Amino acid sequence: MRWRLSFKTSLGGKFLLSYLLIVLVGVATLLAVTFALAPTLFQAQLAPILQRHPGALTTAEASQHILGSFLGTLLSALAVAAIAATVTSLAISLFVARRITGPLQQMTRVSERISAGHYAERIEVAPVHRADELGQLASSINALAVVLEETERRRLEVIGDVAHELRTPIATLQGYLEGLLDGVIEPTPQTWAMLHTEAGRLRRLVDDLQELSRAEARQITLSAQPVAPQRLVQSALEPLEGQFAEKGLELQIHAPENLPPVVADPARAVQILTNLLVNALRYTPAPGRVEVVASREEDMVAFRVTDTGVGLTPEQLAHIFERFYRVDKSRSRAFGGSGIGLTIARSLAQAMGGEIRVVSAGLGQGSSFTLTLPRAHE
């Protein structure tokens, strides 16, 4: 939206008018006070002179005449002074107005560009304005532009990522369906099972995406309550113990009963631990070992899931919590992994006042994920 400013509504016009008003009021006051006091003061000055020179002014008329010409001179001098003051103040008002309206016009221009979607636009803050209110305003508009630019970048990135993630299962489904239509693929129970698996994968991906958007927008309602760490570990482990045994992985659990309770939403805390355990199960080849340890850590309780699996490089560690990040895409996809699990887990942990950390000595050296949750205060 472009604002059309008239002389009366523009800041420069207002400055000019206000300066003129100040000069007018000043001159009027000066004249009123001068002409109210000048005759009396002049008479008082004249009296001692007349006493010293008794014959100097013989008539009242002469005395009036002198007073009149004094006031006339005074008025002429004041008129010239008033004109000089008006011109000077107009020049000053123009100078001040330019220095204020210039940056304001620039800010308006840039804000309009930003609202039109040009998020890379920034206001150049002149050194002279850096510390004043105009500088502060320019800095906060620039900060707003940075946030908008980042949000837009992330929005586009998410759309791209989601499209990319959906393309593979949809292409697989389409391939099977075309094969069936052309009679190249036999409609055997295995084919239907394959189609069913792909559809399930798509469904899980969409569910994960919805969960991720809710977790990142902090829209998941958490019912935080004191809960025993041991209970959380047990609830997460119980449904998975069979799979660990089946894969030939040794499970070691250390969750002492005397640990202080944590404040957490039990279902969500179990969801995070399950995610860490499922990952340990996926990424640890047999024979291997997975260790689950709960311990006290200052004001928190730490749940550490350590495996002897494939491990992670420092580069991989830096990206592991990013959405859709998978070290080995095809391998992870074969497990049904979408690379969103850890992103959701970290969002949930943070929403409960906790955190998730990861360390690994490198490829083939196993990895260790730690979930921390705040300890309940007695």
State the residues that interact with ligand ADP by CB under 6 A: 275, 279-280, 283, 307, 309-310, 312, 320, 325-328, 332, 337-343, 367
- Smallest separation (angstroms) from ligand ADP to the CB of 322: 9
CA–CA separation, 206 and 284 (whole Å): 27
User: Which CB atom, from 145 or from 272, has the smaller least distance to ligand ADP?
Assistant: 272
- Smallest separation (angstroms) from ligand ADP to the CB of 376: 28
User: Which CB atom, from 121 or from 307, has the smaller least distance to ligand ADP?
Assistant: 307
Classify strands 288-297 and 355-360 as parallel, antiparallel or unpaired: unpaired
User: Which CB atom, from 34 or from 365, has the smaller least distance to ligand ADP?
Assistant: 365
Report residue 28 as tokens: 């009027």
- Smallest separation (angstroms) from ligand ADP to the CB of 163: 18
- CB-based burial, 223-258: b 16+ in 10 Å, e otherwise: ebeebbbbebbebbbeebeeebeeeebebeeebeee
Report residue 317 as tokens: 């560690």
292 exposure class (CB count in 10 Å sphere: 0-12, 13-18, 19+): buried
- Smallest separation (angstroms) from ligand ADP to the CB of 310: 5
CA–CA separation, 290 and 219 (whole Å): 33
- Smallest separation (angstroms) from ligand ADP to the CB of 313: 10
Question: Tokens 């998978």 map to which residue?
Answer: 326
User: Which CB atom, from 145 or from 312, has the smaller least distance to ligand ADP?
Assistant: 312
29 exposure class (CB count in 10 Å sphere: 0-12, 13-18, 19+): exposed
DSSP 202-270: HHHHHHHHHHHHHHHTT-S----EEE-HHHHHHHHHGGGHHHHHHHTEEEEEE--TTSPPEEE-HHHHH
User: Which CB atom, from 107 or from 253, has the smaller least distance to ligand ADP?
Assistant: 253
- Smallest separation (angstroms) from ligand ADP to the CB of 302: 16
At position 368, the amino acid (one-letter code) is S
User: Which CB atom, from 93 or from 343, has the smaller least distance to ligand ADP?
Assistant: 343
- Smallest separation (angstroms) from ligand ADP to the CB of 287: 16
User: Which CB atom, from 192 or from 335, has the smaller least distance to ligand ADP?
Assistant: 335
Question: Tokens 């050296």 map to which residue?
Answer: 365
User: Which CB atom, from 332 or from 372, has the smaller least distance to ligand ADP?
Assistant: 332
Reported as half-sphere exposure (CB side, CA atoms, 13 A), residue 40 has a value of 5
User: Which CB atom, from 15 or from 283, has the smaller least distance to ligand ADP?
Assistant: 283
Residues in the chain, overall count? 378
User: Which CB atom, from 93 or from 360, has the smaller least distance to ligand ADP?
Assistant: 360
- Smallest separation (angstroms) from ligand ADP to the CB of 131: 46
Cβ-proximal residue to ligand ADP, closest one: 337
Instruction: Give the helix ranges, DSSP H, for the chain.
Output: 11-52, 60-115, 133-182, 189-216, 229-237, 241-247, 266-282, 314-319, 329-334, 341-351
Q: How far is residue 216 CA from its own chain's centroid?
A: 14
The DSSP element (H or E) to which 291 belongs, if any, is strand 288-297
- Smallest separation (angstroms) from ligand ADP to the CB of 219: 20
CA–CA separation, 301 and 257 (whole Å): 13
CA–CA separation, 73 and 35 (whole Å): 12
